């Protein structure tokens, strides 16, 4: 078999270096190589071994900073003077399907925040994000995002999986399925403090893809980082047993497993399970180091705002994202959420956006600077955004959901910095120029990672599925 040929022609040391693993992950391949696999055999492969994409990628990793609730583009990255001029007047265009019943909605509401132009590019950013403002030369601000769902759950599912009314694999699962992971001692797709509502686990689930591609959560949204630090991943450590004891036990376990496997010859599954046990042992030795920030300098902690209670939680999430990406984890998501969504401000948008923005401004700016300083930003795609934007018209003293035109930004990973792509109308309600549907965003992300989104497919129930279903166009204007 070619697979065996490949293994044999790769020196053991080479493989160790390439993949950064020890004997454990090799176990199965070596075992398989030693047995002459017969024709027609279904070789059991490590599902998250590194794989080559369709063409040379610009980005190798993705960090998605997800703002749960839907931040208002009108108060952050998309200034609309018309709202001030026409404050209180009814919006003169027909309203689309709204989340809040139409009779509860008011007139146009200007942003309470001032905008200022930053950097060489002069991209305007509101007073909510002074630190992030200083990074605009590295950001590609997409002001023309469009989605199809006006409720959180639907919109989050479409953002994360491409579909809002069907269960589909999430973006991170597709990426891991396509590329595998460069670090076998850590999960390849990690989501830090995700929310358990609005689609919950479906937002990091592999759906019909094998479960090896599903996201591994580190904590959940309402938890404080201090409670997450101790046990970031379930079952990763054992408080009752020393690693010597576990090694002693595992050696015997593998001895009886091997004897059993020889007796029950030709069963690749038995070998696969033995391998998973070795891998698990290896993971529990290596992963805690990656998941601890104890070796980070004070300066780094300060850069991410970990020294300030207001920013320490999201700062830790961002720092963890960098550590994981640095170690080859393919897809990391940091969710900004709490007991309730941090950005869903149907009421008091001024007060609440102000409070939420403070928690993330410094950490995100710190992440971008740190990635840049370490040379990681070139092949790491950073994305920021919520499940939709908000309406130009008021709901009480807040804003309703708006998937018809809103802002997300991208940075690094083969995307042009210091640019604005697309535009909404003069009220900021519909995207009117260079509309970028979520399917287009997905197609573009996969393109940056080296995939033709139409060819990254998986067959299930007799049909080839893909992240973009039958849609999606790569937005080449934003590619560096």
Whole-angstrom distance, CA of residue 386 vs CA of residue 383: 10
- Is 272 a binding residue for another protein by CB under 8 A? The answer is yes
Residues in 78-107 at the binding interface with another protein, rule: CB under 8 A: 93-94, 96-101
- Is 285 a binding residue for another protein by CB under 8 A? The answer is no
> Are 422 and 143 contacting, i.e. CB atoms less than 8 angstroms apart?
yes
**Burial group, residue 39, by CB count within 10 angstroms (0-12, 13-18, 19+):** exposed
Instruction: Mark residues 352-371: x for contact with another protein by CB under 8 A, - for none.
Output: --xx--x-------------
Which of 202, 336, 439, 442 is close enough to bind another protein by CB under 8 A? 202
CB atoms within 10 A of CB 405: 27
Residues in 435-474 at the binding interface with another protein, rule: CB under 8 A: 435, 461-463, 473
Which of 2, 120, 256, 295 is close enough to bind another protein by CB under 8 A? 256
- Is 154 a binding residue for another protein by CB under 8 A? The answer is yes
Backbone φ and ψ for 207, nearest 5 degrees, come out as 45, -120
Give the binding range for another protein (CB under 8 A) out of 9-17, 211-219, 320-328, 406-414. Answer: 211-219
Residues in 236-255 at the binding interface with another protein, rule: CB under 8 A: 236-238, 240, 242, 244-246, 248-250, 252-253
Residues in 212-231 at the binding interface with another protein, rule: CB under 8 A: 212, 214, 216
- Is 71 a binding residue for another protein by CB under 8 A? The answer is no
**Span between the terminal Cα atoms of the chain, in Å:** 41
**Burial group, residue 18, by CB count within 10 angstroms (0-12, 13-18, 19+):** exposed
CB-nearer residue toward another protein: 13 or 463? 463
Whole-angstrom distance, CA of residue 445 vs CA of residue 333: 14
Report helix, strand or coil for 116.
strand
Q: How far is CA 133 from the centre of its chain?
A: 22
Residues in 40-59 at the binding interface with another protein, rule: CB under 8 A: 40-42, 44, 47
In the complex, the smallest distance separating the C-beta of residue 144 from another protein, rounded to whole angstroms, is 11
Backbone φ and ψ for 386, nearest 5 degrees, come out as -110, -170
CB-nearer residue toward another protein: 59 or 283? 283
Which of 82, 116, 229, 273 is close enough to bind another protein by CB under 8 A? 273
Which of 5, 88, 122, 201 is close enough to bind another protein by CB under 8 A? 201
Whole-angstrom distance, CA of residue 427 vs CA of residue 292: 46
Report helix, strand or coil for 66.
strand
Q: What angle do helix axes 12-19 and 23-34 make, rounded to 10 degrees?
A: 140
CB-nearer residue toward another protein: 23 or 373? 23
Closest CA to 60 of 369, 378, 333, 323: 378
In the complex, the smallest distance separating the C-beta of residue 376 from another protein, rounded to whole angstroms, is 25
- Is 398 a binding residue for another protein by CB under 8 A? The answer is yes
User: C-alpha distances in angstroms, 145 versus 216, 281, 413?
Assistant: 28, 44, 19
- Is 298 a binding residue for another protein by CB under 8 A? The answer is no
In the complex, the smallest distance separating the C-beta of residue 361 from another protein, rounded to whole angstroms, is 13
Which of 191, 275, 335, 337 is close enough to bind another protein by CB under 8 A? 275
- Is 266 a binding residue for another protein by CB under 8 A? The answer is yes
């Amino acid at each position: 078999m070619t697979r065996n040929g490949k293994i044999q022609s790769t020196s053991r040391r080479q493989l160790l270096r390439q993949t950064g693993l020890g004997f454990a992950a090799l176990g199965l391949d070596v075992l398989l190589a030693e047995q002459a696999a017969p024709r027609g055999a279904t070789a059991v492969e490590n599902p998250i071994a590194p794989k080559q994409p369709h063409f040379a990628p610009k980005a190798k990793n993705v960090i998605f900073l997800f703002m749960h609730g839907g931040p208002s583009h009108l108060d952050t990255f998309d200034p609309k003077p018309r709202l001030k001029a026409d404050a209180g007047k009814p919006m003169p265009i027909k309203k689309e399907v709204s989340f809040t019943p139409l009779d509860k909605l008011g007139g146009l509401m200007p942003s309470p925040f001032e905008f200022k132009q930053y950097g060489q590019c002069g991209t305007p950013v509101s007073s909510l994000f002074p630190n992030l403002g200083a990074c605009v030369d590295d950001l590609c601000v997409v002001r023309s995002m469009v989605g199809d769902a006006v409720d959180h759950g639907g919109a989050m599912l479409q953002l994360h999986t491409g579909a809002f009314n069907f269960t589909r694999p999430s973006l991170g699962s597709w990426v891991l399925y396509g590329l595998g992971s460069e670090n076998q001692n850590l999960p390849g797709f990690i989501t830090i403090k995700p929310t358990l509502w609005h689609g919950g686990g479906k937002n990091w689930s592999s759906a019909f893809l094998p479960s090896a591609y599903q996201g591994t959560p580190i904590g959940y949204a309402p938890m404080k980082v201090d409670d997450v630090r101790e046990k970031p991943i379930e079952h990763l450590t054992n408080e009752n047993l020393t690693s010597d004891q576990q090694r002693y036990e595992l050696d015997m376990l593998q001895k009886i497993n091997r004897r059993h496997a020889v007796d029950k010859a030709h069963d690749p599954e038995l070998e696969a399970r033995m391998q998973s046990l070795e891998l698990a042992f290896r993971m529990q030795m290596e992963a805690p180091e990656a998941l601890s920030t104890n070796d980070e300098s004070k300066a780094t902690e300060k850069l991410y705002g970990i020294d300030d209670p207001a920013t320490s939680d999201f700062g830790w999430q961002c720092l963890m994202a960098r550590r994981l990406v640095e170690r080859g984890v393919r897809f990391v998501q940091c969710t900004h959420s709490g007991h309730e969504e941090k950005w869903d401000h149907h009421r008091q948008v001024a007060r609440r956006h102000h409070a939420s923005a403070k928690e993330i401004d410094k950490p995100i700016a710190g992440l971008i600077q740190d990635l840049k300083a370490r040379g990681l930003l070139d092949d790491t795609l950073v994305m920021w955004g919520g499940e939709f934007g908000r309406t130009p018209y008021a709901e009480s003293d807040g804003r309703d959901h708006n998937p018809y035109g809103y802002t997300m930004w991208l940075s690094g990973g083969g995307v042009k910095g210091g640019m604005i792509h697309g535009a909404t109308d003069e009220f900021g309600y519909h995207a009117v120029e260079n509309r970028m549907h979520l399917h287009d965003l997905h197609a573009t992300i996969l393109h940056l990672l080296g995939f033709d989104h139409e060819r990254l497919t998986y067959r299930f129930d007799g049909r080839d599925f893909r992240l973009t279903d039958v849609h999606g166009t790569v937005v080449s204007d934003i590619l560096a």
